[in-house]
């Protein structure tokens, strides 16, 4: 019996020792696990901080950035990329799925296969153009790619506009310069003896010089307005005063062509505008109407209140504007079918009048537009602030 009791005591003691050892083991493991948990939390916080820094760095640039893994699946997109590609979140999706329209996969495949330097290319889709740069990240099976996208549609449009501007300037200058050269070569001692012929040639010389003067003046006006350097002094002025002054300056020209020019502007309308600038806008529109209206036609200048604005209208019964040309008539140097509107012996305009009118109206915070039916006439509308 004593032996059994001794054995039981020894067993209990051994069990207690085992329990103590197990406690020590689990305490140690618990401490280590707690330390690992704390370290993991620190790593998670650091990872989140790095992610936030990365997001802030990538979102501060206007370039669209897309990070891909080795399978061309999106790991990260900045806000510019989401906006450009029009997706709320592309993470986890394939590049071909979110940006199929840009066809970027061949560039990604090429850079992943070759590695090394980045590949750049301009991608044009419809009316939009993108500068694309792709760089490999990592090597072999662990490779990925970083795509940088920047829309350059506006830059290409500006470049095209600059080239067109230079070409148009060259064209517009060539015509009067060539005419002046021919007239100068025509004039001789014998020509000067013929008074009538000399006066005719002198008149043509003056006309070409007037055209050059008009072109340089309008180019300067347009440059000042577009650059914001044109001084615009807003004062309260009666709308009928601006309309009458612009119409009176062109009435003799309309009468010579047999066109009735009338002004129907209420006397109680007042605008807050730069008188010289708005007077020039109305005069440009009347001048165009005279040029494109046949003898026996009519032109009317009207105005009416539209909320906080006064809307002017210059309506004519002329040849009208083709619907295809209407969206472009306010562009610099744009002329509607030169052969249709230019008569024998008549000087064409510079193609700057409507562009100047548009910029001047917009400088007042207004808008300008045109409605036209080919063969029946056109009406140009523009708004300026009403005087309170």
Judged against a pLDDT cut of 60, whether residue 71 lies above it is answered with yes
Q: How confident is the model at residue 366, as a pLDDT?
A: 93
Is residue 250 within 8 Å of 211, Cβ to Cβ?
no
Q: How confident is the model at residue 133, as a pLDDT?
A: 86
Judged against a pLDDT cut of 50, whether residue 223 lies above it is answered with yes
Q: How confident is the model at residue 342, as a pLDDT?
A: 46
Measured over all CA atoms, what is the biggest interatomic distance in the chain, rounded to whole angstroms?
Answer: 162
Q: How confident is the model at residue 367, as a pLDDT?
A: 94
Is residue 358 within 8 Å of 330, Cβ to Cβ?
yes
Mean pLDDT across the chain, nearest whole number? Answer: 79
CB contact burial 239-273 (16+ within 10 A = b; e otherwise) = bbebbbebbeebbeebeeeebebebebeeebbbbb
Kindly list the distances between the CA atom of residue 378 and the CA atoms of 293, 349, 372, in Å, as whole numbers in the listed order: 10, 18, 4
Percent of the chain with pLDDT over 90: 22
Percent of the chain with pLDDT over 70: 80
Q: How confident is the model at residue 56, as a pLDDT?
A: 58
pLDDT grade, residue 131 (50/70/90)? confident
Beta strands (DSSP E) in the chain are: 64-68, 74-77, 119-125, 128-137, 144-151, 235-238, 260-264, 270-273, 298-306, 309-316, 368-373, 377-385
What tens digit of pLDDT does each residue of 322-342 get? 888 888 888 776 666 543 444
Q: How confident is the model at residue 285, as a pLDDT?
A: 93
What tens digit of pLDDT does each residue of 230-249 get? 667 889 999 999 999 999 98
Task: Report how far residue 304's alpha carbon sits from residue 261's, in angstroms, rounded to the nearest whole number.
Answer: 18
Mean pLDDT of 120-142: 76
Task: Report how far residue 146's alpha carbon sits from residue 38's, in angstroms, rounded to the nearest whole number.
Answer: 33
Q: How confident is the model at residue 62, as a pLDDT?
A: 64
Mean pLDDT of 184-194: 71
Is residue 69 within 8 Å of 90, Cβ to Cβ?
no
Judged against a pLDDT cut of 50, whether residue 345 lies above it is answered with no
Mean pLDDT of 164-187: 74
pLDDT grade, residue 317 (50/70/90)? very high
Higher pLDDT, 197 or 61: 197
Task: Report how far residue 163's alpha carbon sits from residue 148's, in angstroms, rounded to the nearest whole number.
Answer: 28
Task: Report how far residue 335's alpha carbon sits from residue 329's, in angstroms, rounded to the nearest whole number.
Answer: 7
Q: How confident is the model at residue 247, as a pLDDT?
A: 93
Q: How confident is the model at residue 59, as a pLDDT?
A: 58
Pairing of strands 260-264, 309-316: unpaired
pLDDT grade, residue 343 (50/70/90)? very low
What tens digit of pLDDT does each residue of 3-53 get? 766 667 767 777 776 777 777 777 677 777 777 777 777 777 776 666 666
Mean pLDDT of 161-190: 73
Residue 140 Cα to chain centre, angstroms? 43
Task: Report how far residue 209's alpha carbon sits from residue 203's, in angstroms, rounded to the nearest whole number.
Answer: 10
End-to-end CA distance of the chain: 119
Mean pLDDT of 107-121: 76
Nearby residues of 125 by Cβ (< 8 Å), 6 or more positions away: 101, 102
Is residue 108 within 8 Å of 134, Cβ to Cβ?
yes
Q: Which two tokens stand for residue 163?
A: 């080239």
Judged against a pLDDT cut of 90, whether residue 107 lies above it is answered with no
Mean pLDDT of 62-66: 79
Q: Which two tokens stand for residue 284?
A: 């440009």
Q: H helices then E strands: how many in the chain?
A: 11, 12
User: Torsion angle of alpha carbons 72, 77, 82, 86, nearest 10°?
Assistant: 10
Angle at 323 between CA 329 and CA 360, to 5 degrees: 25
Give the pTM.
Answer: 0.54
Task: Report how far residue 150's alpha carbon sits from residue 63's, in angstroms, rounded to the nearest whole number.
Answer: 5
Q: Which two tokens stand for residue 327?
A: 């969206």
Kindly list the distances between the CA atom of residue 178 and the CA atoms of 128, 175, 209, 212, 336, in Å, as whole numbers in the listed order: 40, 5, 12, 12, 23
Q: How confident is the model at residue 185, as a pLDDT?
A: 77
What tens digit of pLDDT does each residue of 361-372 get? 998 899 999 999
What tens digit of pLDDT does each residue of 253-266 get? 899 889 999 999 99
Kindly list the distances between the CA atom of residue 56 and the CA atoms of 60, 81, 88, 96, 145, in Å, as whole numbers in the listed order: 6, 14, 17, 26, 20
């Amino acid at each position: 019996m004593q032996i059994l009791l001794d054995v039981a005591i020894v067993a209990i003691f051994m069990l207690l020792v085992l329990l103590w050892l197990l406690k020590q083991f689990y305490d140690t493991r618990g401490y280590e696990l707690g330390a690992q948990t704390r370290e993991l939390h620190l790593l998670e916080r650091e990872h989140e901080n790095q992610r936030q820094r990365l997001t802030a760095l990538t979102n501060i640039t206007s370039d669209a950035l897309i990070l891909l893994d080795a399978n061309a699946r999106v790991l990260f997109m900045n806000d510019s990329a989401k906006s450009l590609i029009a997706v709320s979140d592309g993470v986890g999706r394939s590049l071909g799925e979110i940006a199929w329209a840009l066809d970027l996969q061949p560039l990604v495949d090429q850079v992943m296969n070759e590695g090394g330097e980045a590949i750049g290319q301009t991608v044009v889709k419809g009316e939009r153009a993108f500068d694309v740069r792709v760089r490999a990240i990592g090597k072999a099976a662990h490779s990925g790619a970083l795509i940088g996208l920047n829309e350059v549609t506006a830059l290409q449009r500006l470049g095209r506009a600059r080239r067109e501007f230079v070409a148009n300037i060259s064209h517009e200058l060539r015509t009067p310069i060539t005419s002046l050269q021919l007239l100068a070569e025509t004039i001789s001692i014998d020509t000067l003896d013929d008074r009538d012929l000399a006066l005719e040639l002198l008149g043509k010389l003056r006309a070409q010089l007037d055209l050059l003067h008009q072109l340089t003046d309008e180019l300067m006006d347009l440059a000042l307005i577009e650059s914001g350097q044109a001084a615009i002094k807003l004062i309260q002025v009666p709308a009928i005063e601006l309309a009458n002054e612009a119409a009176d300056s062109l009435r003799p020209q309309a009468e010579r062509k047999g066109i009735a020019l009338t002004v129907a502007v209420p006397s109680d309308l007042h605008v807050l505008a730069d008188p010289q600038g708005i007077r020039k806008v109305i005069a440009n529109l009347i001048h165009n109407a005279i040029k494109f209206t046949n003898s026996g036609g009519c032109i009317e200048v009207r105005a009416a209140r539209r909320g906080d604005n006064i809307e002017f209208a210059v309506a004519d019964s002329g040849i009208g504007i083709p619907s295809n040309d209407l969206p472009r008539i306010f562009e610099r140097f744009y002329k509607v079918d030169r052969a249709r509107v230019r008569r024998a012996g008549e000087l064409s305009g510079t193609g700057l009048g409507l562009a100047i009118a548009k910029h001047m109206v917009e400088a007042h915070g207004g808008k300008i537009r045109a409605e036209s039916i080919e063969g029946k006439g056109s009406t140009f509308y523009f708004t300026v602030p009403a005087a309170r």
